[in-house]
Structure 1
Amino acid sequence: MCLHYQKVAGISILVWDIILTFQGESEYIWRMRRCVFKWFYFYFRYFLLAVHIFHLAISPALSSGQTPHSLCIIWYRYIILIAQLSFSMVHIILAIRVHALFNRNRKICVFLGSLILLESGFAVIHVVKCLPIEYLESCFLIKPHRDLADAHAVLIMTIQSILMGMFTFKRVVGVRLGWGRTPLMSFLMNEAASNYVVVFLLCGTGLAFVVFDDQRAIITFYWSTPLFSAVGCRLILNMERFARRYPPDEEIMLTSHITL
């Protein structure tokens, strides 16, 4: 019952966030040309909303205590894939920003791309080797495979730290060269820091539950849906709003001389 209330709270946050950002979405996102960021936005906003509604709809079946073990395995694999897809998409957005800050350096692109592929590959390994899993009364409270879950969470937090570290490095270098306090740099740092806090709280909480052998570790997944929706949408919406606020001529002034 407590878990059901948390899912209801999660969908309430999703709906409230849609209301808060609807004006900006209609003004900036709907008018965007067809590009990957537009589809990313619709994924974070509406696909994750549909996912959360799906979770509510199947709650009675998965919490009945009569769900076959094979379906619980499928459910666990589904959880890993959906969570990893959201992590990867957020990391892609941040990696593109870092790549731009480093003057589109090809080595940076290869490095960050390799990290995201490593993260995604590990998720696939987690899915393939998830057997056996343990659960008590229902599939909703699953005890993750401890070694895999620990390593997966640590890998995600490490990649997040690397991205944050690269933003911070550029900010420090920029301050020394005189452009580190521009509106663009301040905006990117604030966005990266906010995302960093959310991801660390999410992964850190789940990791703590796993370390203490607590089945409530899986609860972090049900909260990840509204959190990723809010974070992902704002990463895209705020960037588009910023770009409209500073036209190309002004943006050149803000982004010039961003070199090492």
Structure 2
Amino acid sequence: MADADAVTVALHHMETAAIHGFASKSMFVAGLCILIYDHILTFPDEVEYIWKRNWSVVSTMFVLNRYITPFVLAVDLYDKGGLPNYIPKSFCVGWYYGESVWNLLCFGFVHAIVALRVRAIWGRPRWLSITLSVLFATYFLTTTVVVYALQIKVVHTVEYNPLYRICLATISPHLWTCWLPALVFETFVFVLTVIKAREHSKANFDTPILRILVRDGVVYFVIICACSVFNMLIWIVAPPSLVALSKYFVLAVVPTMGARLVLNLRGSRREDLMPTAGRSTTEDSRGFEMQAKGGRPGKPLPGERFVFASFRAERRSMMRSKIRLFMSEHI
């Protein structure tokens, strides 16, 4: 009787693991479809705003994220999709570390792009550059140390499982903590974005570039926080068989979001430089006001014109030029 109960329990666990595995694979495929579809959708913009422009650090991060991530996910799909009949332990262990390296770099690239955008919104003050650099380095190093310290403890459990035909490993119960440094960094960057957006709103300072910077900053924060919290909750409360439910989906969504951040911003620069109603944006932004002594508004008397430059508009023009220059050099 006891043996029958044990077999029943074992079969139930196997059935549950199979269901969880199917759910994880479905999320994996959904994320991969989002990545590939967006890549196809934005490829013309990529050619226009990346390959035809001067190369920069952001261009390098964009291309690496854009083309290495699909390769990593393809290997993961081969491994975690249960396709191979056998995988050597050496490959399982090597990919266990290699995949983690790319996860760290992939998220680091996107966070660096967001930090550069916030620096541009604030006009590149030295104190902010130092603060963001220190916080980014702290986030990246802390996450790296946490991930590898926890991985080293369980690397001996990595092996190919012939029943499920995938590489499996024991998951540390503290692995969720690796998401905390990124969450703190993202929150700080988001607060800076909100502060500057509020200042610009009060000053009636609005350009296509700033609209994109603020809008995408808010959307990015919501998505990246949702992904981080999703991973944390899965790794804290869900059974080990669901650990991959969020992992690969997030790895597909975050680079997609990072690509959109770069392409949307570079597209907005073109919009910001386009003339409006027969005048250039430079002329519009200067905001010269024509008045006439003794004349009606809009109809000054000949020889009695006075031109007054709006200092607020002039300041907006200088700010726009500064942001545009920064974008052309760095983003």
Q: State the TM-score bracket (shorter-chain normalisation).
A: 0.7 to 0.9
Match of 1:26 among 47, 66, 76: 47
1:250 aligns with 2:281: yes
Q: Using the TM superposition, give the Cα deviation of residue 64 of structure 1 relative to its aligned residue in structure 2, in angstroms.
A: 6.6
Match of 1:190 among 190, 203, 215: 215
1:192–1:255 CA distance, 2 compared to 1 (3 A) = farther
After superposition, the CA RMSD in angstroms is 3.0
Identical columns (%)? 20
AA at the equivalent of 1:155:
P
1:218–1:110 CA distance, 2 compared to 1 (3 A) = farther
Q: Using the TM superposition, give the Cα deviation of residue 198 of structure 1 relative to its aligned residue in structure 2, in angstroms.
A: 1.5
Aligned length: 256
1:111–1:233 CA distance, 2 compared to 1 (3 A) = same
Q: Using the TM superposition, give the Cα deviation of residue 66 of structure 1 relative to its aligned residue in structure 2, in angstroms.
A: 7.4
Which runs of 5 or more residues in structure 1 are unaligned? none
Structure 2 residue aligned with 1:114: 134
AA at the equivalent of 1:240:
R
Instruction: Kindly provide the CA deviation profile for residues 207-231 of structure 1, in whole angstroms up to 9, marking residues without a partner as x.
Output: 1112215322333221123212311
Task: Give the secondary-structure state (helix, strand or coil) at the position aligned to 2:153.
Answer: coil
1:165 aligns with 2:221: no
1:142–1:245 CA distance, 2 compared to 1 (3 A) = farther
Q: TM-score, normalised by structure 1?
A: 0.84
Structure 1 residue aligned with 2:118: 98
1:143/1:214 contact within 8 Å kept: no
Instruction: Kindly provide the CA deviation profile for residues 65-120 of structure 1, in whole angstroms up to 9, marking residues without a partner as x.
Output: 9764x765544433432222122111111111111222211111111111111122
Match of 2:202 among 156, 160, 176: 176
Higher mean displacement: 37-46 or 229-238: 37-46
Which runs of 5 or more residues in structure 2 are unaligned? 1-20, 275-279, 286-315, 323-331
Match of 1:57 among 69, 75, 78: 78
Instruction: Kindly provide the CA deviation profile for residues 121-179 of structure 1, in whole angstroms up to 9, marking residues without a partner as x.
Output: 123212431233367957656554333x3332121111101001000000112222231
Match of 1:234 among 260, 263, 267: 260
Task: Give the secondary-structure state (helix, strand or coil) at the position aligned to 2:52.
Answer: coil
AA at the equivalent of 1:119:
Y
1:78 aligns with 2:98: yes
AA at the equivalent of 2:183:
M
AA at the equivalent of 1:117:
A
Match of 2:172 among 136, 140, 145: 145
Q: TM-score, normalised by structure 2?
A: 0.67
